[in-house]
Structure 1
Amino acid sequence: MRPIRSTEGPVNTAYKSRGVEPQRRIDTSKILRTTARKSVADYIEKPKRSTIVRKANRLTNSREKLIPKAPIARLFKEVMDDYTQKSNFRITREALEVIRTATEEYLVSFFEQCNILAVHAKRVTVMPKDIATLKELWKYR
């Protein structure tokens, strides 16, 4: 005869995932014995954030311009040369800064609205069709 198994042992239970990665805990008993300066909360490892998220947060909190001065100056001088017969026109630093600021504001607002269109289509990536749709919508503004 085979012996009957008892049900007093450990029972494995399946749990639903919460969708969030829990914080990992480090064995703090050994750490607390060696040093009493830090608390237990200091040794909880936080999940690493991706580089893209950190960069996006840094850019949203900064006040510096995203577009460099030299490419804007070259582009504006090229446009000035195309629309005028004389090629010896000059532009002040303040005027170039105003053009740079306006260009950046336009591009940021344009791509923010493109992102809204992509989210509306249940996508994360901005696609050329979002840009075309936004251009079509801006015709009637």
Structure 2
Amino acid sequence: MARRKGEPRSSSTGSPLQSRSSRSTRSGDDNRQPRNAPALREIKRLQNTTNLLIPRKSFQDVVRSIVLRIVCQHHFTGTIRWSVTAMEALQEAAEAYLVNFFEDALLCTLHARRVTLMVKDFELTRRMRGPNDVANR
């Protein structure tokens, strides 16, 4: 007869091994946290805040370099100025898009019965969103 999940395994002499609860434990094992506890704490902290995730200065530098590259292609010779609210709105929209994109990629990961995000999940997400998505232009 096959052993069930809750039954202990038998040793070679035929006597059952000690169950997990009756084994002697080290004194420090009771207070031990799982390895992913810091990551779970950070996830909970970020879910409870409304702060932006990307640092403002870094995002501003990336936006300015992209705009400068586009402007140089069209031979524009003036200066471009951004209002603070316009930059905040752009950053809010960009972060919302990225969070949504990661959520969809995570659904692809879970559908494949995995827990680790891979490049192929992002590629599948882009493919499923279609050619009119911002990332596919």
Q: Above 0.5 in TM-score?
A: yes
Shift of 1:86: 2.5
Write the letter of the residue equivalent to 1:129. Answer: K
1:16, 1:131 → 2: CA distance? 41
Shift of 1:56: 1.1
Unpaired runs of 5+ in structure 2? Answer: 1-15, 22-26, 133-137
SS in structure 2 of the partner of residue 94 of structure 1: helix
RMSD, matched Cα = 2.6
Q: Which has the higher contact order (CA 8 A, sep 6+)?
A: 1
Find the counterpart in structure 2 of residue 77 from structure 1. 64
TM-score w.r.t. structure 1 length? 0.65
**Larger Rg over CA atoms:** 1
Q: Percent identical across equivalent pairs?
A: 26
Unpaired runs of 5+ in structure 1? Answer: 1-11, 18-24, 26-44
1:94-131 deviations in whole A, cap 9, x for unaligned? 00000000000000000011011101101111100000
What is the 5 A alignment of 1:51-66?
A: 51-66=38-53
Q: Runs (4+) of structure 1 moved beyond 4 Å?
A: 12-17
Contact 1:81 1:87 in 2 (8 A): no
Find the counterpart in structure 2 of residue 139 from structure 1. 130
Q: 1:62 to 1:46 in 2, by over 3 A?
A: farther
Write the letter of the residue equivalent to 2:118. Answer: M
Write the letter of the residue equivalent to 1:95. Answer: A
SS in structure 1 of the partner of residue 45 of structure 2: helix
Match of 2:95 among 99, 104, 128: 104
